[in-house]
Amino acid sequence: MLQPTVLVQPTPQERARLMEVWEWNDVTGDPIPVPPPPTGAPVGIRGWRRHVPRPVRVTQGNTFFGTPAHQDFLNGMANNDVASFDVHCDLNVDPHRIGAARSNDITNAKDSCVAMIHQMDLKKITVESRNGGVIRITKHNDPLLPWVPWVGPGPVPLPREQPAGMVAEFRLISHDQNGRKRPLGMLIEEANLNVEWRPDQTLHLMQRFKCNDNNVIYMLHCAACLDLHENDAGDRFQVWTNYIGQTSPNEDAAHHNFHNRAHLHVAQLNNASNRVVFPGNPGQNAALQPQVDRVDAGEVDDVQLLRDPGVHFNCLHRPEDRRYTILQKGFDGRARRTQAEHNWMAVLGNWEYNAQEHFGSLNLNY
C-alpha cells in the first residue's frame, strides 16, 4: 500500500499571514508577497502591482487577447507606481473606420475588455467606462466584501445603484467562463484556508486554488453530515462523508474538467455498473429512491449503491450540501496524479465507511 502523504500543519503565525493574503499565483497556488512600496513612498506602503491570472479559455470567444488594448491592460496592472490607468480600447479599431461603424467597433472592443476581466480571478479593482474608447481601471486596497450566497434563480445581480459610468466592481465575486456571475462560493471552498471536513479535524491549506483549475486532486465533503455530529445533549459523534477525486489537465475532456466533475457528482452515479441499472440524474430516477430505502432499512448493499456520491447528495442529503476543496495541482502525468490521489484518500478518510449508517469515505479501495 502507498504511504499516505504527511500533512505539515502551518504555525499560528503562518496562518495569520495567509489569512491576510488575497492574491495567489494561479499556476502554483502559492501566496503572492505584498509588492514593495511605490517609487518614493515610505516603507510599509503597499505598491500597486497586481498579479494577472490566466483567463479561462483565452483563445475561445474573445478577440481582445494579444491586441494593443490588451497590452495596455497588462502594463497598467503590472505598474507598481499607479493606482489608476486607462485601457485605450480604440487602439484595437481600424483607424480607417469612421462614423457609426467606428463607434460600434469601439463598443465591441470595450465589451471584450470587460468580458476578459470577468474571465479572470481579479479582485479589488473598479472598472469604469469613460468617453471615447477608454476604460478606466482603478486598483484599491479596500477590505474584501463578505461572501453572501445568492440563492435566487438566474445569475447573481449587480447592485441596482451604481455610479454613473460604472461597469462593475470586483471584490469577492465568482464568475463562470462566459462572464456571467454565479455563486460558486456556496459549493467550493475557494477562499477558505481552514476547512473542517470531519468533526474535530480541520485541513489547513497552504495554497489557494480556483474553480477553473484542472490537473488537480480535490475533496468533496458533506456539510449536512457535519451538522449531525452533535446531539442536543452535546454528545459528539464521528459523522462525516467525503470523496477524493482528480481531474486531467485537458479542460475539454468531458469527464475530467473540474466543473464537469463537480456537476457529474450529482448528475449521475459514479459507478459505471450501477449507472446502467439507474441511468440519468439520480434525483430524478424513480427506481433509485425505493432501492435506497430498502438498503437503509437493512437490505444488504452488495453493489455499494449508497457509497456513491450521486446517491449521497441526491437521496440521503441534498446537492447543496456539497463542499469542494482543491487539495493539490500541477502533476506531470496521470501516474503521479493517481498516486497523489491515492495518498490523499489514505490521509483524508483512509477508506473508512459505516455501512449501517451510510457515512464515511465514499472512495472504494480496490
pLDDT tens digits, residue range 139-168? 988 776 544 444 444 444 433 333 333 334
Q: Which three cell numbers stand for residue 304?
A: 455499494
What type of residue sits at position 326? I
Phi, psi of 175 (to 5 degrees): -135, 150
256: confidence class by pLDDT, cuts 50, 70, 90: low
Q: In whole angstroms, what separates CA 357 from the centre of its chain?
A: 31
Question: What pLDDT is recorded for position 73?
Answer: 93
Give dist(CA 275, CA 287) in Å, integer: 12
Model confidence at 250, pLDDT cuts 50, 70, 90, reads low
Confidence at residue 184, expressed as pLDDT on a 0 to 100 scale: 32
Mean pLDDT of the chain: 77
Which of 136, 128, 125, 134 has its CA nearest to residue 49?
125
Q: For 215-245, what is each residue's pLDDT tens digit?
A: 888 999 998 998 876 666 666 667 899 999 9
Q: Is the model's pLDDT at 20 over the cut of 60?
A: yes
| Region for residue 64 given its phi and psi (left: phi exceeds 0; alpha: psi -120 to 50; beta: otherwise) | alpha
Q: Judge if pTM exceeds 0.85.
A: no
Contact of 109 with 133, CB cutoff 8 Å:
yes
Give the whole-number percent of the chain exceeding pLDDT 70: 72
Instruction: Specify the higher pLDDT residue, 177 or 16.
Output: 16
Separation CA 229–CA 246 (nearest Å): 28
Q: What is the pLDDT of residue 189?
A: 37
Of 11-15, 124-128, 254-258, highest mean pLDDT: 124-128
Give yes or no for residue 88 having a pLDDT over 90: yes
pLDDT higher than 60, residue 176:
no
pLDDT for residue 345 is more than 70 = yes
Query: What gap in Å lies between CA 191 and CA 210, rounded to an integer?
Result: 9
Q: What is the pLDDT of residues 307-324, one digit of tens each?
A: 999 999 999 999 888 888
Residue 300, SS3 per DSSP = coil
Q: Which residues contact 196 (CB under 8 A, 6 or more apart)?
A: 202, 203, 226
Confidence band of 34 (pLDDT split at 50, 70, 90): confident
Residues 264-270: what's their mean pLDDT? 90
The stretch 257-276 carries a mean pLDDT of: 87
* pLDDT score, position 19: 67
- Distance between CA atoms of residues 258 and 247, nearest Å: 6
Among the residue ranges 200-204, 224-228, 332-336, 342-346, the one predicted with the least confidence is 200-204
Contact 242, 198 (CB under 8 A): yes
* Higher pLDDT among residues 311 and 329, named by residue: 311
Residue 170 pLDDT grade (very low, low, confident, very high; cuts 50, 70, 90): very low
Q: Which residue has the higher pLDDT, 3 or 363?
A: 363
Q: Under 8 Å CB-to-CB from 143, ≥6 apart: which residues?
A: none
Confidence of residue 274 (pLDDT cuts 50, 70, 90): very high
Going by C-alpha positions, the residue among 151, 225, 218, 144 that lies closest to residue 188 is: 218
Which residue intervals of 35-172 are DSSP H helices? 68-78, 99-118
Q: Contact, 126 vs 135, CB < 8 A?
A: no
User: CB of 199 within 8 A of CB of 239?
Assistant: yes
CA distance 244 to 344: 7
Burial of 82 (0-12, 13-18, 19+ CB in 10 A): middle
291 with 305: CB under 8 angstroms? yes
Percentage with pLDDT > 90 across the chain = 30
How confident is the model at residue 86, as a pLDDT? 95
Q: Is the pLDDT of residue 11 over 90?
A: no
- Phi-psi category of residue 330: left, alpha or beta, with phi > 0 → left and psi -120 to 50 → alpha: left
The span from the first CA to the last CA of the chain, in angstroms, equals: 11
- In the chain, the largest separation of any two C-alpha atoms, in whole Å, equals 78
Residue 198, pLDDT > 80, answer yes
C-alpha to C-alpha distance for 54 and 288, rounded to whole angstroms: 42
Distance between CA atoms of residues 313 and 294, nearest Å: 17
- Domain boundaries defined on the chain: 50-183, 187-361
pLDDT at 193: 62
